[in-house]
Amino acid sequence: MSLEGAAVSLGATIVSLIFAALVFNQWVSRRKPFQMAWSLGLGLYGIAAFTQFLAEAYGWTPSTYKAYYLVAAPLVARLVFNLWIGIGALIIAAGGSLARFNLSWALYIGEFVGIAVMFWGFLASQDLAKAKVPVATQLPT
């Protein structure tokens, strides 16, 4: 709880909500999908910054934290499969933590499994059906 933190959060709230309104007006007139996505993202950021302001000014409460978590989570987690990337990072960290207790094998197994889980999450988050065909296969036969 600090005055400076509250001021910065309130400033971020005002600026982001103004930009969200401007981009939303552009979307209304032009109907470009990216403008709707940007206005939604800026609006979510504005609400998250406002809950941060409330927390800095008055302290964190369970309802403030829940509101912050609900609004900020879509800004952080782009896709559902990115959860697997985070789980893989946790597995690697757990393996490193176990290595401190003279379980060095846990580090290697943790790295192997963690990297495999992260790679699977990355592949699952890609839409492979939309991937471009390599140039070599586009040549006439």
The pLDDT value recorded for residue 55 is 93
Among 72, 62, 77, which Cα is nearest to 9's? 72
For residues 46 and 87, membership in a common domain is answered with no
Instruction: Give the pLDDT confidence score for residue 76 in this predicted structure.
Output: 64
Query: Nearest CA to 47 among 69, 22, 25, 27?
Result: 69
What are the mean pLDDT values of the chain's consecutive 10-residue runs (141 residues total)?
Answer: 90 96 95 88 92 93 88 67 80 87 89 90 70 57 57
Contact 92, 83 (CB under 8 A): no
Structurally, how many domains does the chain consist of?
Answer: 2
Q: Are residues 39 and 71 in the same domain?
A: yes
pLDDT at 137: 56
Establish if 121 belongs to a structural domain: yes
Q: Residue 99 belongs to what domain range?
A: 82-130
**Residue 59 — left, alpha, or beta (φ > 0 → left; ψ -120 to 50 → alpha)?**
left
| Residue 14 tokens, joined | 């005002």
pLDDT score for 113: 93
Rounded to 10°, the helix 62-76/33-58 angle is 150
The residue among 46, 61, 76 that closes a domain is 76
**Per-residue model confidence (pLDDT) at position 123:** 81
How far is Cα 56 from Cα 2, in angstroms, rounded to an integer?
Answer: 6
Q: Three-class SS string for 21-51? A: HHHHHHHHHHCCHHHHHHHHHHHHHHHHHHH
pLDDT, position 139: 55
The residue among 28, 13, 107 whose CA lies nearest residue 68 is 13
Are residues 56 and 32 part of one domain?
Answer: yes
CA-closest candidate to residue 78, choices 37, 112, 132, 117: 37
Overall pTM surpassing 0.85 (yes/no): no
